[in-house]
Copies of this chain bind each other. A is one copy, B any other.
């Protein structure tokens, strides 16, 4: 299941994409529009900023804005950032790989093979969908 953090991130990114023309957008505006706790949203937007997806401007007239075009931000990127690994096992994760403790050989482990298939099927969707696909207009 996706965490609220991840869902909020998608909501915020959609809002920013839909209002790209308005320049910097207040956290407050996103929070009230999408009904998200402002303080909680702050930390999410900060994560997205540190990842290079968003930019920000302090002071009066400040706020957050997209650094990338909506079609450049894949859902996989956002999910990995805020939700963690997409794979079901650490030993099949592309971005969060960890050797699995029990199995002797990944090459001959049936579980490993099947979980690779699950991962690839999932990625075939979320690597090819972007924030552009989330917004209703066009």
Interface of A with B (CB < 8 Å)? 1-2, 7, 10-11, 34-35, 75, 84-85, 87-90, 102, 108, 110-111, 114, 117-118, 121-122, 124-126, 129, 133-136
Q: A114-B125, A114-B126 are in contact. List 20 more A-B contacts (CB 8 A).
A: A1-B84, A1-B89, A2-B88, A2-B89, A7-B89, A10-B111, A11-B102, A34-B102, A110-B133, A110-B134, A110-B135, A110-B136, A114-B133, A114-B134, A118-B122, A118-B125, A118-B126, A121-B121, A121-B124, A121-B125
Main secondary structure of the interface of A (DSSP, over half): helix
- Asked whether, in the complex, the Cβ of B1 is within 8 Å of the Cβ of A114, the reply is no
- Asked whether, in the complex, the Cβ of A108 is within 8 Å of the Cβ of B136, the reply is yes
Residues of chain B within 8 A (CB-CB) of A124 are 121
CB A73 to nearest CB in B, in angstroms, measures 14
| A1 in contact with B88 given A35-B102, A129-B114 (CB within 8 Å) | yes
Nearest-neighbor residue (CB-CB) of A114 within chain B:
B129
